[in-house]
Amino acid sequence: MLLAAGEGSRFGRPKALVELDGQTLAERGVTMLRRGGADPILVVTGAAPVELAGILAVYNEQWRTGMGSSLRAALRSLTGAEGAQDRPAATLAADVGAVVVALADQPLIGTDAVARLIAAYRDGAGVAVACYDGLPRNPVLLAREHWPEVIAAATGDQGARAFLRARPELVTLVECGDTGSPDDIDTAADLDRVAARYRDSKRR
Model pTM? Answer: 0.93
Can you spell out the DSSP letters for 79-91?
Answer: HT-TT-S-THHHH
Cα–Cα dist 189/168, whole Å: 34
Residue 80 in contact with residue 87, Cβ under 8 Å?
yes
Beta strands in the chain (DSSP E): 2-3, 19-20, 23-24, 42-45, 56-59, 98-103, 127-132, 135-143, 171-175
Tell whether omega for the bond before 139 is within 30 degrees of 0, i.e. cis.
yes
Cα–Cα dist 1/121, whole Å: 16
pLDDT per position in the chain (204 positions), as tens? 999 999 998 999 999 999 999 999 999 999 999 999 999 999 999 999 999 999 999 999 999 999 999 999 999 998 875 444 554 555 555 678 999 999 999 999 999 999 999 999 999 999 999 999 999 999 999 999 999 999 999 998 889 999 999 999 999 999 999 999 999 999 999 999 999 999 988 776
